[in-house]
């Protein structure tokens, strides 16, 4: 086990780690310290770091058999020592990180599961976040400093909240400043924050892309310009020249910094870049949403017209307050106090970051500076970002950063019907051929080879093309020229076209558009269900379809006609089963006789599919292949030949895969297809091995925990579409999950949206008559007995975990979390001693009260627990206390008993309580007779809890649904709930949140999460 530590020393981040196990260090060297991070997620971030040995003052003590030694950090747990610990010097091997690797490590350290960050490193992570926050808010200023005899350009923080600075200084762990004999916390904090702010700004303010002005070599530029160059480059060093006198510039910048520390006024100086021929400034609220369409069809050129950077005053709190400098000098800004003084002072300060404006300041009433195209590009890429970083207002043209060079794919299908827009071209499939053409484009306008050659000849990074200005750099031009050397016309299969779309483009030359006609265009749009003509309910379907279901039927028929697999990912309760039954009835209209469909289901859904088929599609011939008496061999073949729909379970399909694979299937349908999410399991491999003309996956949660689950489901629906699993992980899963890569997420959406239909209950354009769902957190107190058991369980785990290796550690954390959940439920569940239930659990007391209230109101409730043993304890207890039968469904309930329980609950007019095991009943059941849902203990995965809630909150529900989630106050249940809420954005987007992340917390974090607060225990 490695515990990473960091200190700020010598103007840099110094990293080292503690390790467990026996060691024989040299005298005076920290016996457990290491700088070896090989094989960990830190390794790429520390590669090439400078090796040093730090002198650090650390708490030390003596213990029998070990003598004097540094005390282990809190993450490794306490250690008894003789006498009082005292500070002693130790030599610690460490790594000195360069600024950018240091910032990258501080932003990633708390998310690495293989190295535990110490409190000192976590504090510096917080400080890195603070530096980024200051940079984003423009609370930074440039400075010229002397460091070890050299001149350096630095960005310094502007701390306008002294109380926050003092709080950070007080919070700094002593280990952060233990190197070199120890220094005051405020001194180290100021130095570290300055270094991190400088790195944060350099990460967002780009290095100048243009060479120095003609006639001046880099080392002949004035000192002020060399300083500006160094502010944006990777090295802050300012080259010294004979005759340099930096005192004046340093003094001016120090005065600027001193002024910035004073309370800011209501106005700031603002700079607006206006292109040649641009009109006067128009406030945002009066601008059109989209820029006007270009009307010029001119050849590319730099259009050496005159650019203007207009000066103005802008409100700091209200940016819509905009007063041009010309109005200030004309005396038309009398309502703005101190306008002239504010404008002059701001322009003087800005001169250091925007030297091109110097000629304008020679006049008495500076209102704008005129620039050529190269100067305008310098402003776009260099001066503008630096001015914005320093707190000035900057307004750019609407095209800035948007109109860029990219590539576009055009495909045309062979089939005339497909070209004319026929949505049911039966001959089209992924093997069908299409003509393709790749073009370079800016927006919707394609550019040809001659135009690109002219752009390359101009070597101007800001050019006017097809009536709009475009920013180009050397890397983009080089990528475009390489692109033109590749084959750009030809024929390929539709599958190859899709794969090309998935993998096309990069940062220099992105894929900006796809133009496909007819059926292929409908498919690639991802909106085929809205483009297609809805299919009304077939005559032989005894059901009325909602409008979105009619569109869904049209989409399923469209995909089926193309021979493509589909993923119907509608939200739980929107009727995925009826959609498939509608498709089966639809394709049999007019006497057609397609082959049978095999539906593979969780066992809990077999009865549901039987009942819905009998109710809505009574003419469909349904055969159930399940149980010890199921047909085999010729008997199975005969039964399948006489059936339209064959129902089986995942377990049976895995056991009978070879037999099922020998039969001819029109399609295979997998309901609750998240059962396939682990692609390497025997069950998933068996299901994928059953051949069929088409396949349909049904799931409301295509991604529960990781993106590879989506790959596994898509691999069932359309084998090979997303490539090998390893390539998918590298191309999509890792960049999206770890780095939040928006480009990869967009590429994945392009690849999958043609095959996925996703509708949500919360979308009012889909369904308008579903009632409301109200989620309530019910906070319960522990009894004294529960609190005592809770503390003992936590103490026992922390003692064991300090000595455990990584494998045992994960098991210990999960086992302890389970025990603590059981304690929060009831002591008898943890002790398993069959002892009495009354008066010993705050949750049980509150559950009784809620169930009694539900029954008194004449209503019904579902009560979910993840523990079958706890449910078995609750069922007789609640039945006795409430004097009403309490139904109980768990994993051991037979299929027939399960169906009987569901029917009884749905049809019995009397109020009742239905107790359910979360795993056994969290999916596949329709229990709309209930309008109350109670989660007694939490699964800590929002997707799993939502699935269970949707047993009641689904189509057919006519009343508002109240969902109560029990939380023991002051315990890990409350703190983990808070952490889940903070992660909700991730859980609700493309990646779900599982429970395993809890195992990656450090000992200190675990102690904080699991600790028992005083308010937890009831009086």
Residue 109 in contact with residue 117, Cβ under 8 Å? yes
Cβ neighbours around 1012 below 10 Å, total: 20
Q: Identify whether 226 is part of a domain.
A: no
Residue 290 has pLDDT above 50, yes or no: no
pLDDT the model gives residue 417: 45
Nearest to 576 by CA among 565, 567, 587: 567
pLDDT the model gives residue 426: 35
Residue 365 has pLDDT above 70, yes or no: yes
- Give every CB contact of residue 364 below 8 A, 6+ residues apart in sequence: none
Q: Identify whether 257 is part of a domain.
A: no
**Shared-domain flag, residues 692 and 570:** yes
* Most confident segment among 150-159, 423-432, 433-442, 508-517: 150-159
Cα–Cα distance between 276 and 397 in angstroms, integer? Answer: 11
Residue showing tokens 């603070």 = 130
**Shared-domain flag, residues 489 and 583:** no
Give the pLDDT band (50/70/90) at residue 744: confident
The tens digit of pLDDT for each residue in 911-920 reads 999 999 887 8
Q: Identify whether 222 is part of a domain.
A: no
The CATH code of the domain that includes 636 is 3.40.50.10810
Give the pLDDT band (50/70/90) at residue 118: confident
Residue 399 has pLDDT above 50, yes or no: yes
Say whether 598 sits in a helix, a strand or coil. Answer: strand
**Shared-domain flag, residues 825 and 850:** yes
- Please indicate whether residue 323 or residue 766 has the higher confidence score (pLDDT): 323
The tens digit of pLDDT for each residue in 84-96 reads 778 888 899 999 9
Tokens (6 digits) for 151: 């001149």
The CATH code of the domain that includes 930 is 3.40.50.300
Q: How far is CA 621 from the centre of its chain?
A: 45
- Give every CB contact of residue 51 below 8 A, 6+ residues apart in sequence: 35, 93, 94, 95, 96
Nearest to 890 by CA among 906, 875, 910: 875
Q: Residue 471 belongs to what H/E stretch?
A: strand 468-471
pLDDT the model gives residue 1000: 53
Least confident of 219-223, 269-273, 326-330: 219-223
**CA gyration radius for the chain?**
34
Residue 359 has pLDDT above 70, yes or no: yes
- Bridge partners (DSSP) listed for residue 778: 966
Nearest to 260 by CA among 167, 156, 355: 156
Tell me 461's DSSP state. S
| In 845-894, beta strands by DSSP E | 860-865, 886-889
Tokens (6 digits) for 414: 């062979």
Cα–Cα distance between 683 and 737 in angstroms, integer? Answer: 26
Say whether 491 sits in a helix, a strand or coil. Answer: strand
Tell me 890's DSSP state. -
- Give every CB contact of residue 296 below 8 A, 6+ residues apart in sequence: 466, 467
Cα–Cα distance between 997 and 999 in angstroms, integer? Answer: 5
**Shared-domain flag, residues 357 and 487:** no
Cα–Cα distance between 219 and 226 in angstroms, integer? Answer: 8
Residue 865 in contact with residue 917, Cβ under 8 Å? yes
The tens digit of pLDDT for each residue in 4-54 reads 999 999 889 999 998 876 556 677 888 888 888 887 888 878 888 889 898
Nearest to 292 by CA among 447, 463, 468, 443: 468
**Shared-domain flag, residues 725 and 806:** no
Q: How far is CA 427 from the centre of its chain?
A: 40
**Shared-domain flag, residues 387 and 419:** no
Give the pLDDT band (50/70/90) at residue 264: low
Say whether 835 sits in a helix, a strand or coil. Answer: coil
Write the DSSP string, 710-775.
Answer: HHHHHHHHSTTTT--HHHHIIIIIHHHHHH--HHHHHHHHHHHGGGEE---TT-TTT-S----EEE
Residue showing tokens 């944006």 = 232
Instruction: Give me the number of domains the chain comprises.
Output: 5
Cα–Cα distance between 477 and 483 in angstroms, integer? Answer: 10
What percent of the chain lies above the pLDDT cut of 70?
80
Residue 989 has pLDDT above 80, yes or no: no
Residue 530 in contact with residue 461, Cβ under 8 Å? no
Say whether 286 sits in a helix, a strand or coil. Answer: helix
Give the pLDDT band (50/70/90) at residue 756: confident
**Shared-domain flag, residues 370 and 420:** no
Say whether 671 sits in a helix, a strand or coil. Answer: coil
What percent of the chain lies above the pLDDT cut of 90?
21
Tokens (6 digits) for 764: 């009012």
* Most confident segment among 315-319, 380-384, 859-863: 859-863
What totals of helices (H) and strands (E) does the chain contain, helices first?
40, 35
Last residue of a domain, one of 475, 493, 519: 519
Last residue of a domain, one of 187, 202, 217: 202
- Please indicate whether residue 768 or residue 999 has the higher confidence score (pLDDT): 768
Q: Over range 838-846, report the average pLDDT.
A: 89
Q: DSSP 3-state helix, strand, coil percentages of the chain (rounded to 5)? A: 45, 20, 35
Q: Identify whether 727 is part of a domain.
A: yes
Cα–Cα distance between 701 and 713 in angstroms, integer? Answer: 11
Least confident of 130-139, 246-255, 327-336, 992-1001: 992-1001
**Shared-domain flag, residues 573 and 478:** no
* φ, ψ of residue 520 in degrees (nearest 5): -65, -35
Residue 312 has pLDDT above 90, yes or no: yes
Residue 660 has pLDDT above 90, yes or no: yes
Cα–Cα distance between 541 and 539 in angstroms, integer? Answer: 6
Say whether 353 sits in a helix, a strand or coil. Answer: coil
Give the pLDDT band (50/70/90) at residue 996: very low
**Shared-domain flag, residues 270 and 333:** yes
- Please indicate whether residue 24 or residue 751 has the higher confidence score (pLDDT): 751
Sheet with strand 622-625: strands edge to edge: 622-625, 645-649, 597-601, 667-670, 694-698, 566-568, 756-757
Last residue of a domain, one of 348, 367, 397: 397
Cα–Cα distance between 994 and 300 in angstroms, integer? Answer: 53
**Shared-domain flag, residues 478 and 494:** yes
pLDDT the model gives residue 667: 94
Burial class for 404, CB neighbours closer than 10 Å (0-12, 13-18, 19+): middle
Burial class for 85, CB neighbours closer than 10 Å (0-12, 13-18, 19+): middle
The tens digit of pLDDT for each residue in 559-591 reads 888 788 899 988 766 788 999 999 999 999 988
Residue 140 has pLDDT above 90, yes or no: no
- Please indicate whether residue 110 or residue 779 has the higher confidence score (pLDDT): 779
Residue 529 in contact with residue 554, Cβ under 8 Å? yes
Write the DSSP string, 155-197.
Answer: EEE----HHHHHHHHHH--GGGG-BTT---HHHHHHHHHHHHH
Q: Give the Å distances, CA to CA, from 932 to 279, 346, 551, 961, 964.
A: 61, 62, 32, 6, 8
**Shared-domain flag, residues 738 and 844:** no
Tokens (6 digits) for 652: 């049976």
Give the structural domain span for 575.
528-603+611-757
pLDDT the model gives residue 237: 86
Tokens (6 digits) for 681: 């399991």
The per-residue pLDDT of the chain, averaged, comes to 80
Residue 740 has pLDDT above 70, yes or no: no
- Bridge partners (DSSP) listed for residue 735: none
Tell me 468's DSSP state. E
Q: Identify whether 246 is part of a domain.
A: no
Tokens (6 digits) for 102: 């240091």
Cα–Cα distance between 381 and 984 in angstroms, integer? Answer: 36
The tens digit of pLDDT for each residue in 409-462 reads 888 876 544 433 333 333 455 667 888 888 887 766 777 777 777 776 766 677
pLDDT the model gives residue 993: 32
Q: Identify whether 186 is part of a domain.
A: yes
The tens digit of pLDDT for each residue in 65-85 reads 666 788 888 777 666 666 677
Nearest to 514 by CA among 617, 421, 438, 427: 438
pLDDT the model gives residue 997: 45
Nearest to 934 by CA among 825, 790, 820: 825
Q: Encode burial over 295-317: b for 16+ CB neighbours within 10 A, e otherwise.
A: eeeeebebbeeebbbbbbbbbee
Q: Identify whether 380 is part of a domain.
A: yes
Tokens (6 digits) for 838: 């009354």
Residue 309 in contact with residue 384, Cβ under 8 Å? no
Tokens (6 digits) for 507: 């940062």
Cα–Cα distance between 4 and 115 in angstroms, integer? Answer: 7
Residue 721 in contact with residue 755, Cβ under 8 Å? yes
Cα–Cα distance between 246 and 238 in angstroms, integer? Answer: 11
Nearest to 352 by CA among 220, 272, 213, 255: 255
Tokens (6 digits) for 768: 């308008």
Q: Identify whether 244 is part of a domain.
A: no
Sheet with strand 150-157: strands edge to edge: 140-147, 150-157, 237-238
Give the pLDDT band (50/70/90) at residue 593: very high
Cα–Cα distance between 1012 and 968 in angstroms, integer? Answer: 10
Residue 1013 has pLDDT above 80, yes or no: no
Give the pLDDT band (50/70/90) at residue 666: very high
Residue 965 in contact with residue 940, Cβ under 8 Å? no
**Shared-domain flag, residues 743 and 813:** no
* φ, ψ of residue 687 in degrees (nearest 5): -65, -40
Residue 212 has pLDDT above 90, yes or no: no
């Amino acid at each position: 086990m490695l515990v990473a530590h960091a200190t700020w020393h010598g103007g840099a981040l110094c990293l080292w780690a503690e390790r467990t196990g026996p060691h024989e260090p040299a005298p005076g060297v920290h016996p457990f310290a290491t700088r070896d991070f090989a094989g960990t997620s830190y390794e790429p971030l520390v590669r090439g770091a400078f090796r040093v040995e730090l002198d650090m003052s650390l708490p030390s003590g003596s213990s029998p058999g070990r003598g004097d030694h540094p005390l282990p950090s809190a993450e490794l747990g306490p250690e008894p020592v003789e006498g009082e610990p005292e500070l002693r010097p130790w030599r610690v091997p460490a790594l000195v990180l360069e600024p950018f690797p240091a910032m990258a490590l501080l932003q990633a350290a708390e998310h690495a599961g293989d190295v535990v960050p110490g409190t000192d490193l976590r504090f510096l992570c917080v400080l890195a976040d603070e530096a980024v926050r200051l940079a984003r808010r423009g609370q930074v200023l440039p400075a010229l400093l002397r460091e070890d005899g050299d001149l350096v350009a630095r960005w310094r923080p502007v701390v306008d909240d002294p109380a926050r600075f003092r709080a950070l200084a007080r919070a700094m762990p002593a280990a952060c400043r233990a190197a070199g004999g120890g220094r005051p916390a405020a001194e180290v904090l100021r130095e570290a924050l300055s270094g991190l702010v400088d790195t944060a700004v350099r990460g967002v303010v780009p290095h100048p892309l243009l060479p120095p002005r003609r006639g001046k070599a880099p080392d002949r530029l004035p000192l002020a310009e060399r300083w500006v160059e160094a502010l944006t480059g990777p090295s802050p060093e300012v080259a010294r020249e004979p005759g340099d006198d930096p005192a004046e510039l340093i003094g001016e910048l120090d005065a600027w910094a001193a002024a910035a520390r004073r309370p800011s006024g209501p106005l700031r100086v603002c700079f607006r870049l206006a292109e040649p021929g641009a009109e006067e400034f128009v406030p945002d609220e009066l601008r059109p949403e989209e820029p006007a369409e270009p009307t010029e069809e001119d050849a590319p050129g730099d259009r050496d017209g005159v650019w203007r950077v207009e000066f103005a005053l802008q409100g700091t709190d209200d940016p819509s307050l905009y007063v041009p400098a010309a109005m200030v000098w004309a005396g038309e800004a009398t309502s703005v106090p101190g306008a002239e003084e504010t404008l002059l002072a701001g322009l003087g300060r800005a001169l250091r970051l925007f030297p091109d404006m110097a000629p304008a300041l020679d006049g008495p009433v500076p209102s704008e500076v005129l620039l050529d195209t190269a100067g305008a590009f310098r402003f776009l890429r260099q001066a503008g970002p630096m001015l914005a970083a320093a707190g000035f207002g900057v307004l750019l043209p609407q095209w800035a950063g948007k109109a860029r060079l990219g590539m576009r794919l055009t495909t045309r299908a062979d089939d005339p019907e497909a070209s004319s827009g026929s949505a049911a071209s039966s001959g089209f499939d992924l093997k069908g051929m299409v003509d393709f053409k790749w073009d370079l484009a800016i927006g919707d306008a394609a550019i040809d080879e001659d135009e690109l050659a002219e752009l390359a000849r101009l070597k101007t990074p800001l050019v006017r093309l097809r009536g709009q200005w475009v920013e180009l750099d050397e890397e983009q031009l080089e990528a475009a020229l390489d692109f033109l050397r590749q084959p750009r016309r030809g024929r390929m299969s539709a599958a190859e076209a899709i794969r090309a779309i998935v993998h096309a483009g990069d940062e220099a030359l992105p894929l900006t558009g796809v133009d496909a006609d007819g059926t292929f265009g409908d498919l690639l749009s991802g909106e085929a269900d809205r483009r297609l003509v809805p299919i009304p309910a077939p005559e032989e379907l005894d059901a009325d379809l909602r409008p979105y279901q009619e569109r869904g039927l049209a989409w399923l028929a469209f995909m089926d006609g193309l021979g493509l697999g589909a993923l119907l990912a509608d939200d739980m309760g929107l009727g995925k089963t009826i959609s498939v039954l509608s498709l089966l009835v639809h394709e049999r209209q007019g006497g057609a006789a397609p082959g049978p469909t095999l539906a593979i289901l969780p066992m809990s859904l077999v009865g549901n599919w039987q009942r819905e088929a009998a109710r809505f599609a009574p003419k469909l011939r349904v055969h159930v292949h399940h149980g010890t008496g199921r047909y085999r061999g010729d008997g199975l073949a005969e039964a399948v030949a006489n059936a339209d729909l064959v129902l089986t379970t995942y377990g049976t399909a895995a056991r009978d895969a070879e037999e099922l694979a020998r039969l001819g299937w029109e399609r295979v349908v997998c309901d609750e297809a998240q059962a396939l999410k682990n692609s390497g399991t025997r069950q998933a491999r068996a299901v994928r091995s059953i051949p069929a003309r088409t396949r349909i996956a049904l799931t409301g949660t295509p991604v529960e925990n990781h993106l590879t689950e989506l790959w596994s489901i898509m691999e069932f629906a359309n084998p090979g579409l997303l490539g090998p699993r390893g390539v998918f992980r590298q191309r999509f899963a890792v960049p999206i999950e770890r780095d939040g890569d928006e480009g990869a997420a967009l590429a994945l959406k392009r690849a999958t949206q043609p095959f996925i239909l996703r509708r949500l209950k919360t979308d009012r354009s889909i369904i308008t008559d579903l009632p409301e769902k109200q989620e309530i957190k019910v906070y319960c107190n522990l009894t004294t007995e529960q609190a005592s058991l809770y503390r003992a369980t936590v103490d026992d785990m922390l003692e064991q975990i300090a000595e455990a290796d990584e494998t045992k550690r994960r098991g210990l954390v999960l086992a302890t979390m389970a025990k603590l959940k059981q304690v929060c439920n009831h002591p008898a569940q943890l002790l398993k001693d069959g002892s009495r239930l009354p008066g010993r659990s705050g949750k049980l007391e509150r559950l009784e009260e809620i169930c009694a209230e539900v029954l008194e109101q004449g209503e019904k409730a579902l009560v979910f627990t993840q523990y079958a043993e706890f449910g078995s304890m609750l069922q007789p207890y609640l039945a006795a206390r409430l004097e009403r039968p309490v139904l109980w469904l768990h994993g051991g309930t037979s299929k027939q008993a399960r169906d009987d329980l569901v029917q009884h609950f749905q049809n019995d007019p009397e109020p009742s309580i239905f107790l359910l095991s979360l795993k056994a009943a969290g999916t596949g059941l329709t229990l709309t007779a209930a309008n109350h849902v109670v989660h007694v203990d939490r699964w800590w995965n929002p997707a799993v809890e939502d699935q269970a809630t949707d047993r009641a909150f689904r189509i057919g529900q006519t009343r508002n649904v109240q969902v109560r989630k029990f939380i023991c106050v002051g315990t890990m249940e409350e703190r983990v709930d808070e952490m889940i809420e903070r992660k909700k954005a991730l859980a609700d987007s493309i990646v779900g949140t599982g429970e395993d992340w809890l195992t990656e917390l450090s000992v200190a974090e675990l102690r904080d999460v699991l600790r028992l607060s005083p308010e937890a225990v009831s009086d």
